A and B are shown apart, each in its own frame.
Chain A
Amino acid sequence: MSDRILGAACLATAAGMAWAAQGYAAAISYEPVGPRAFPLLLAALLATGGLWLALKPTLRGATPYRGVPLRATALVAVSVGLYALLFEWLGFALATAAMAVPLGLVFGSSLRASIATGAGLGLALYFLFDKALDVVLPTGLLSFVLGGR
């Protein structure tokens, strides 16, 4: 069943692409092929592939999601999303420390170990990259200690 959904998703994406690409026309054109042709070609290919998949699914009746630990996966997804969102505001060190706690727990560490990991990773990687390797990282809320912004 799920391959049919993938096929349908491909079809929908292709339709969206084709619809968006409709209006792509150059004001003044110097060449026979404008900015619209390639996206439309891709949309056609994607639609063909999606249709094929929807009609002849290769994963018939298979349930690739049976083994997925739903809560853990959702927790990781949300943690990564929040990490991305708060990366600049909290600063690298704090954000990393906060992200490492739920991830450590999900991947089998104890609470204390996860907090220690987070603090260690946040500070060690900050000093390694920002101070030693010259890769500028945000300091966020800790900017009064670490400097920067």
Chain B
Amino acid sequence: MDILQHLAAGFGIALSPTNLAIAAIGALIGTVVGLLPGLGPINGVAILMPLAFAMKLPPETSLILLAAVYIGCEYGGRISSILLNVPGDAGAIMTAIDGYPMARRGLGGVALSISAWSSFVGSLIATVGIVLFAPLLASWALSFGPAEYFALMCFAFACIAGLMGDAPLKAGIAAVLGLALSCVGLDANSGVYRFTGGDVHLSDGIQFVVVVIGVFSISEVLLMLEQHHSSTGLITNTGRMLFNLKELAHTWWGTVRSSIVGFVVGVLPGAGATIASAMTYSMEKRLTDKEGTFGQGDIRGVAAPEAANNSAATGSFVPMLTLGVPGSGTTAVMVGALALYNITPGPALFTQQPALVWGLIASLFVANVILLVINIPMVGMFTKVLQVPNGVLVPGILAVSAVGVYAVHATTFDLLLMTLLGLVAWLLRKQGVPMAPLLLGFVLGDMMEQNLRRALSITNGEVSILIESPISKGLWIGTTAMLLVPPLLRSLSRRRAAPPVAA
């Protein structure tokens, strides 16, 4: 009952004219950012976050904007996957496998509309999941002390290292580098300046925006120099624009299954939309592909991963809102956005800022309806965006990124630091070091250090407090498992005949 009241109040906020307009604008921007290959939700949210702050939007409004962009990206990514065979963002990689063959058979419109629909179902199920589980998790997390928090953050890093890609060591290094970057500046407890090199610009730390834009946008531009996909493969003849009831029924259970799996994966810190869509695609293939049509344009292979990537993206709000520990790079950026407003997400957010939390949750419902509406009939307009040449697009991205960085402190120093971080990040990414853990480390660094120090001051330096309570014990066991099990599984499956993985 309580939840329904909160939700009603949330809808009151989400449906205010300003927030409704902002959600629509965010949905539109998100779809465009998502469909452009090379620009993903992290870039979109990172570029918009400082702008929203500079435009003096209230916190709930700017969070609604960022959330709409995030979800919009997950919708938009499928468009280029289906029509161009180039995933618009990482979560849409699996969609291309069956989506592009469908489009080549003249069923592009059907693929686009069914994937928009399954994206909608995925997000909807995950948003209901947030409504049901987030308050429970938040009230449970209220009992967390500093030791539990420290263990929880270690668990988050273990998840991201264990689940992300093939180089857990490099993910770990990235996380440590992020944590180190967060140490720069004044240490509030002691008044000591750390790693500033005596530079006054660094005395209150490195701006979050500078790190995100440098690490994601600048390095992305340098990486784009190596990819030469043109819009020549673009399929413009999309045929029938809407799926029929038979196709709807054919994909329905796969969509629901994938949505639920996607939500669970999304809630886990570290595992995001990319893993969820890959998991559900192979799950659906195993469960339903009796004729061997997956990979040749099976509509179920389009619906399942799209449902999953949307529900995972939505699900990743849960750890961010309830624990203050973001589960993905994009939600890490949102934590940074809240930090600009001096709001620290965590279990207390539900009681202290109910308007913010429930307004956001309600606006997820609203944004999804908007996205469904703009993504089925207006898809033709979005495909025009794919024809914008890179020679216009890249300077545009850079200019908007620079505006975002400059907007926060208005110094040349921040812009130069952005360039430097971008170059270093480019080198690291070339080397196979993932950047999402670095971002997570940067966001969590301060919280992690503070909780460690607080825990140790309780016992006057006795380290045993870190593993005393059953919750921390469980989290440490989870941490160890996350670090050990995925590499073991991977080497096991490598020993078996390597199954062909469609790239």
Contact = CB atoms under 8 A, between A and B. Distances in A.
Interface string B188-202: 011110110000000
Interface string B15-59: 000000000000000000000000000000000000100111000
A8 interface: no
Q: Which of B189, B395, B399 has the most CB of A within 10 A?
A: B395
A106 B412 CA distance: 25
B421 to A, nearest CB: 11
A107 B403 contact: no
B226 A31 contact: no
Dominant SS at the B interface?
A: helix
B457 A32 contact: yes
Nearest to A130: B403
Given A39-B180, A121-B399, A134 B54 contact: yes
Contact of B398 (A37, A43, A99, A137): A99
A95 B9 CA distance: 46
Interface string B160-199: 0000001101101100110110010001011110110000
Contact of B412 (A72, A77, A88): A88
B453 interface: yes
A143 interface: no
B412 A85 contact: yes
Interface in B115-157: none
A125 B452 CA distance: 45
B422 interface: yes
Range, interface on chain B: 35 or more
A21 B179 CA distance: 14
Given A3-B431, A49-B172, A85-B412, A103 B395 contact: yes
Contacts of A3: 431
A137 B456 CA distance: 46
Nearest to A133: B55
A106 B402 contact: no
A24 to B, nearest CB: 5
Contacts of B390: 107-108
A135 B51 contact: yes
B192 A24 contact: yes
B472 to A, nearest CB: 17
B56 A42 contact: no
Contacts of B402: 83-84, 87, 92, 96
A138 B189 CA distance: 36
Given A2-B431, A26-B192, A109 B392 contact: yes
Nearest to B393: A107
B176 A46 contact: yes
A32 B455 CA distance: 10
A6 interface: yes
B317 interface: no
Q: Which of B169, B218, B457 has the most CB of A within 10 A?
A: B169
A29 to B, nearest CB: 7
A25 interface: yes
Interface in B341-396: 389-396
Given A39-B180, A58-B432, A136-B410, A69 B391 contact: no
Nearest to B453: A33
A146 to B, nearest CB: 15
B191 A26 contact: yes
B17 to A, nearest CB: 18
Given A6-B433, A64-B431, A80-B422, A49 B194 contact: no
5 contacts: A20-B195, A46-B176, A83-B402, A84-B402, A113-B392
Interface of A: 2-3, 6, 10, 13, 17, 20-21, 24-27, 29-35, 37-39, 42-43, 45-46, 49-50, 52-53, 58-59, 64-65, 67-69, 72-73, 76-77, 80-81, 83-85, 87-88, 92, 96, 99-100, 103-109, 113-114, 117-118, 121-122, 125, 129, 133-138
Interface of B: 51, 54-56, 166-167, 169-170, 172-173, 176-177, 179-180, 183, 187, 189-192, 194-195, 218, 221-222, 224-226, 389-396, 398-400, 402-403, 406-407, 410, 412, 415-416, 418-419, 422-423, 428, 430-433, 449, 452-453, 456-457, 460-461
